[in-house]
Structure 1
Amino acid sequence: MKSKIKNSVFLSFIYIHLITVFTKLMSLFVKQDGKLIVFASFSGRQISDSPLAIYNIIRNDPSFKDYRLVWLISRSLNKNADQLGIVHARFGGLKHWYWLIKAKYWVSNSSIDRFVPIKFKNTVYFNTWHGTPWKIIGPEEKNISPLVRNWYKKVCFDYLTLNGEYDCSVFKNVFPNTKDYLKIGLPRNYLLKKTVKSTEIKSFFEKYNLDNNKKTVLYAPTFRDYSVANDLAYLSKKELELIADKYNLLIRSHYNDSFKSSKKFHNVSAENINILFHIADFMISDYSSIMFDFAITNKPVISIAKDFDLYSRNRGFFFDEKKMPFPILKKFEFNAIQKQFSIAPKNVENFIGFLNPKLGVKKIKSILSGKSFKKRSN
């Protein structure tokens, strides 16, 4: 049913208007709480990424001790949230809308509003998005559903974080109704400037039985929104095992995808991305924005794009492959991959030049305490 609604212009129209009317009526009976912040990551699929980084910034600050922090998550995350001591409600349930109406602040890295571009009086919508895109995103996507296309065109963020000058040029077209673009980098990357405890690394190696004498490769491909055989898009099991024979191989899949672990490699998609970045010596991806984040570590990044022509036709790119600051291999060649592992990324400042943890934390606290918003409204 969800798929039918998303892909039908008529059903999308009905869905948007029903939710809009329902929430507007509900808002007449729910008083907004100026000290309530609601979080969601990847539309409730995870407790992660920049929303989690912001949650930890706020939770650990005594000046926010009177604030209530609520996560909107899928049912499958309930146990994990309980273990972390997180207050939560089901993403998409009735309480989802109650908390959105009740909260003054929304923090998300995608759609917290179920692709219904609504906001309530005095709501502050803080969005971090989830990466610097090479692939086309937004209303210009070729295979996008009517519901999502409408959301891109009409959603109104009060604040959207940016990684670099390139982000500025892209997101002003992707989210044209955004009120304020923050040049502070992605909050999830602030911890990359900090050292990870040796005990955490040791614990990770023991958990996955990794070899201390091997270098570690992180494979992080993106999602395909068109039909293609897995081995023609992603690295095949044989290719993965070839890498795993020489390196510790970790796989972080897109939240719309999944990879099964084997005796030779491990799916670590549920692990903290900052830990993965610190542990990995190299990254292999394809078209994912995660490449730009990993470049902050100044470690080698390679794009293996076996279905480049097909992806280009079906999804498209914001800029020519020749402008990519990372090498692109259009077929799997193990020797060529190993050769590229010795080369650090170059000329990435245009993509990640805004990263400023000190300024970013200060700005985030100012916004979520109401200070920045009051100043901007005057």
Structure 2
Amino acid sequence: MPRFSVIVPAHQVQAYLHECLDSVLGQCFGDLELIAVDDRSPDSSGEILDAYAAADPRVTVIHLAENIGLGPARNTGTARARGDYVLYLDSDDTMAPGTLRALAERLSETSDPDILLFDFAPAYWDGSLGPPAHPELLTPGAGPGVCTLDERPELLRLTAVAWNKAYRRAFLLRERLAFPPGTYEDTPWTFPALLTARTLGTLDRVCVHYRQRRGGSILTTTGRRHFDVFDQYDRLFAFLAARPGLDRWHQALHQRMTDHFATIHSTPGRLPGSARAEFLHRARAHCRRHRPASAAGRAAVPPGRRLRRMLVRHGAHHAFRLLAHAGRARRLLGARLRRARRVLRKALLRGHYLLQRHRPLDRDLAVFSAYWDRGYSCHPAAIEAKARELVPDIRTAWICPPDHAHTLPPGVRRLQPGSAAYWTALARARFLVSNVNLPHSYRKRPGQLLLQTHHGTPLKHMGLDLMAYPAAADGMDFGRLLEHTDRWDYSLSGNPHSTLVWERAYPSPYTTLEFGQPRNDVLQTATAADVARLRAALGIPDRVTAVLYAPTHRDHRPGRQPWLDLARLVATLGPSFVLLARAHYFHAGQGLPCEPPGGLLDVSDHPSVEELFLASDVLVTDYSSLMFDYANLDRPLVVHAPDWETYRETRGTYFDVTAAAPGPVARSEDELIDILATGAHTTEHARALRAAFRQRFCPWDDGHAAERVVRHVFLGTATGTATGTGPGLGTAAGSAAPPGATVPAAVPPLVPLAERHPAPAPGSGGGPGPGAAPLTPLAPPAAKDWWSCPASASSYRCSRSRATCASVSTRCSASPAPTWR
């Protein structure tokens, strides 16, 4: 008996069905059955379902002889269900990652209530998600986590759909609940379920992504089928009449019905124009027919809603139309007023900026920003910290919104993007430092110094080199790009490769500073105590290998792409490993593709990737520039390149990273597991690959890059040269020390690569050594091969082939070695 039965009816959804089914079967909680009902679909939906059933024994397909509609199709699936809990999912929607695990944990916490209610969010055609639908009702502070409807009557305000709840199957059988035929079938299902449930649980989590189709769905199709809503409410009130003990809910449901009629009547695209008056007359008759005997329990409502209800109850079609037109006019006027305010504010700020440009430059002010104002990080952060250390009279300001204010160190002023103070700073600051371009409306003044730090060594094509790759360029204005690069005074380079790329991709008359990458200074200066402290703060156990997984963004594919089954990776590697998963900053806030099980830490929101470097034993990435930074630590790296050819063709790359990799290359998830499990990333061959990579891409990252930048740009001392020769002695043209600045002693000469001592690796090493726990591969319940490990006296189901697992077991440290049975 599975924990969950997921019912998915399908009719003319072939374009969305794969995504729906994958979202269920790809859950990191696998104790489920999926019952798909082919409602005599005329397209290829039935064949798609059969293919999934052939590939996964958790899938059961029911082919109906005739089209019976959504409600009866759900009933057919429910009759075949065997799970403890039943969930319904429409076949054009998707289940959010980690949903089933979160539901299972919440059900256990709440002692298996009859119904567990959860949230959903709209999913739009461009891949974006809207806000949760009902956070105010489901948040833990809104009421008790387990309750009855009498204790929390406001739960009746949740959207009346079947798929935002998990139902205990025994409860459905006890109450004999069933969906009716017709449209709006969720109405006489949802309310009886809530009224008869003895216990209700809530989960403050988006579990379903509700697809907003541009056309073709029931609710966006104009027709008379919307008149079915009257039959559905007749069924609902007949249910109430048959259960006198529930009569106290009559008033509340009558108000819900009236609001529902008003929504259908006023929503464009549902009712034919000729049928609107008829619909409202039917609504008036229904309001009178099901009028409660008394007004007891009537809740206070806003005046606008009270007026709408009154017009529905009186069937006032023309007055309702006038009200709708007035509402649309009010919204249109409000939108125009807001737009006018934005235009006026922009004009005032523009005038303010032009006035500020006529004031003298503030020679002690330096303005910093990083990653499109995402907070204190990267090379600008390292330079800012060093500037406050070496130039005590400097005043620094950082551009970021309030939600990133916590990343700023004490003493650094925050500038709100787009504010008057922001434009004042851009107009008057002597120094400006960023790893991206400043806004187009900024105009650099004579005497200002603009340093472009970039944000990594380029593997993928950048700047003008993207002209041949339209998918990656995504409508980039290359003329505007050159206008921005013409403002640069300095371009910071971390290695000779970067110098050549930046000067070709951004051909402007700036000076290249070959000083290294300031954000990597800490990788050379951190101590063993720092490493231990960071691991403890992250909760990484002692003698455990910490794998940092940091994939990059794919320009040719919208949304985040979870290239690895993180739950499987953690389970297969076993307790000797912990996985630190970090999403690309383009996908910040989207969470992991699964709810983190034990051994998996979501570090996407950690403010410092350098601290994650120090805390980890090995980096796994695909094509991210983080590999160039991590190589400075001389710790193992693994390149996971499942789509290298596609990525190279769509984005363009400067060299073949699979041929000149800093370590082993895995083309698949199984290869990656094998590399990590067998320690192939720690061999002499892997070290040789890493040494060659460091020699090529880490020549100047000796721990003094930020100091070289500050002395050259801020103090104007002889610390570096222009392109071609690397850090050494030279003269900084055009920069002068601020008045009163203290000029420090000369920077020590560049430390040769062979003489550097990067932060020591954690004590656990790069993989499981002698005496470590034997690998215990775990895999989906569908797998049939088993192997026995005498060291743990247990058997483990394994999803990998017998040959692969046998090869791994021969390298296991257990004695005797694991054997097949």
Range of TM-score over shorter length: 0.7 to 0.9
Between the aligned partners of 2:494 and 2:601, the Cα distance in structure 1 is 30
Q: CA deviation at 1:127?
A: 1.8
Between the aligned partners of 1:57 and 1:212, the Cα distance in structure 2 is 33
Q: CA deviation at 1:172?
A: 0.6
Q: CA deviation at 1:360?
A: 5.2
Q: CA deviation at 1:377?
A: 3.8
Between the aligned partners of 1:99 and 1:244, the Cα distance in structure 2 is 51
Partner in structure 1 of residue 712 of structure 2: 366
For the 8 Å contact 2:349–2:423, the answer to whether it is kept is no
Q: Relative to structure 2, which stretch is displaced further, 169-178 or 331-340?
A: 331-340
Q: 2:556 aligns with which of 221, 226, 239?
A: 226
Structure 1 segment 111-150 matched on structure 2, within 5 A = 111=437, 113-115=438-440, 118-141=443-466, 142=469, 143-147=472-476, 149-150=478-479
Partner in structure 1 of residue 608 of structure 2: 272
**Alpha carbons of 1:281 and 1:254: their partners in 2 closer, same or farther (altered >3 Å)?**
same
For the 8 Å contact 1:221–1:286, the answer to whether it is kept is yes
Corresponding residue SS for 1:225: coil
Q: CA deviation at 1:368?
A: 1.0
Between the aligned partners of 1:204 and 1:220, the Cα distance in structure 2 is 18
Q: CA deviation at 1:291?
A: 0.2
Letter in 1 for 2:399: L
**Alpha carbons of 1:347 and 1:173: their partners in 2 closer, same or farther (altered >3 Å)?**
same
Q: CA deviation at 1:76?
A: 0.8
Deviations 1:205-230 (Å, cap 9, x if unpaired)? 33332221211111111112222685
Q: 1:340 aligns with which of 680, 693, 704?
A: 680
Q: Within the alignment, does 1:77 sit opposite 2:404 as a pair? A: yes
**Alpha carbons of 1:239 and 1:74: their partners in 2 closer, same or farther (altered >3 Å)?**
farther
Between the aligned partners of 1:91 and 1:305, the Cα distance in structure 2 is 38
Letter in 2 for 1:286: D
Between the aligned partners of 1:56 and 1:128, the Cα distance in structure 2 is 15
Deviations 1:322-353 (Å, cap 9, x if unpaired)? 23344332211211344432123131222221
Partner in structure 2 of residue 90 of structure 1: 416
Matched positions, count:
356
Q: Within the alignment, does 1:185 sit opposite 2:516 as a pair? A: yes
Q: CA deviation at 1:45?
A: 0.6
Deviations 1:345-371 (Å, cap 9, x if unpaired)? 131222221224446514422311345
Letter in 1 for 2:460: K
Partner in structure 2 of residue 38 of structure 1: 367
Between the aligned partners of 2:477 and 2:402, the Cα distance in structure 1 is 23
Between the aligned partners of 1:151 and 1:240, the Cα distance in structure 2 is 44
**Alpha carbons of 1:310 and 1:94: their partners in 2 closer, same or farther (altered >3 Å)?**
farther
Task: Point out which structure has higher relative CO (alpha carbons under 8 A, 6+ apart).
Answer: 1
How high is the TM-score relative to the length of structure 2? 0.40
Partner in structure 1 of residue 501 of structure 2: 170
Corresponding residue SS for 2:535: helix
Between the aligned partners of 2:643 and 2:451, the Cα distance in structure 1 is 35
Equivalent pairs: percent with the same residue? 22
Between the aligned partners of 2:705 and 2:570, the Cα distance in structure 1 is 43
For the 8 Å contact 1:172–1:178, the answer to whether it is kept is no
Between the aligned partners of 1:346 and 1:22, the Cα distance in structure 2 is 55
Between the aligned partners of 1:347 and 1:361, the Cα distance in structure 2 is 27
Deviations 1:121-159 (Å, cap 9, x if unpaired)? 211011211111111121332232445634432313211
Letter in 2 for 1:133: P
**Alpha carbons of 1:117 and 1:144: their partners in 2 closer, same or farther (altered >3 Å)?**
farther
For the 8 Å contact 1:160–1:178, the answer to whether it is kept is no
Q: Relative to structure 2, which stretch is displaced further, 272-281 or 288-297?
A: 272-281
For the 8 Å contact 2:517–2:705, the answer to whether it is kept is no
For the 8 Å contact 2:567–2:596, the answer to whether it is kept is no
Partner in structure 2 of residue 7 of structure 1: none
Between the aligned partners of 1:185 and 1:84, the Cα distance in structure 2 is 26
Root mean square deviation of aligned Cα: 3.0
Q: CA deviation at 1:271?
A: 3.7
Structure 1 segment 1-378 matched on structure 2, within 5 A = 25-61=354-390, 64-81=391-408, 84-111=410-437, 113-115=438-440, 118-141=443-466, 142=469, 143-147=472-476, 149-154=478-483, 155-156=485-486, 157-196=488-527, 198=529, 200-227=530-557, 234-242=563-571, 245=574, 246-258=576-588, 259-260=591-592, 262-263=596-597, 264-269=599-604, 270-321=606-657, 322-333=659-670, 334-338=673-677, 339-342=679-682, 343-344=686-687, 345-348=690-693, 349-358=695-704, 361-371=707-717, 375-377=732-734
Where does structure 2 lack aligned partners over 5 or more consecutive residues?
Answer: 1-125, 127-346, 721-730, 736-821
Letter in 2 for 1:87: R
Q: CA deviation at 1:309?
A: 2.6
Q: Relative to structure 2, which stretch is displaced further, 354-363 or 310-319?
A: 354-363
Q: CA deviation at 1:303?
A: 1.3
**Alpha carbons of 1:55 and 1:230: their partners in 2 closer, same or farther (altered >3 Å)?**
closer
For the 8 Å contact 1:131–1:289, the answer to whether it is kept is yes
How high is the TM-score relative to the length of structure 1? 0.84
Q: Relative to structure 2, which stretch is displaced further, 182-191 or 315-324?
A: 315-324
**Alpha carbons of 1:162 and 1:103: their partners in 2 closer, same or farther (altered >3 Å)?**
same
Q: CA deviation at 1:27?
A: 4.2
Deviations 1:177-230 (Å, cap 9, x if unpaired)? 1511111110111121113351x4444333332221211111111112222685
Q: Relative to structure 2, which stretch is displaced further, 115-124 or 133-142?
A: 115-124
**Alpha carbons of 1:266 and 1:19: their partners in 2 closer, same or farther (altered >3 Å)?**
farther
Partner in structure 1 of residue 809 of structure 2: none
Between the aligned partners of 1:71 and 1:42, the Cα distance in structure 2 is 12
Between the aligned partners of 2:704 and 2:646, the Cα distance in structure 1 is 42
Q: CA deviation at 1:286?
A: 0.6
Letter in 1 for 2:498: D
For the 8 Å contact 1:303–1:329, the answer to whether it is kept is yes
Corresponding residue SS for 1:250: strand
Partner in structure 2 of residue 15 of structure 1: none
Letter in 2 for 1:304: H
Q: CA deviation at 1:67?
A: 1.5
Between the aligned partners of 1:214 and 1:241, the Cα distance in structure 2 is 12
Q: CA deviation at 1:47?
A: 0.6
**Alpha carbons of 1:236 and 1:218: their partners in 2 closer, same or farther (altered >3 Å)?**
same
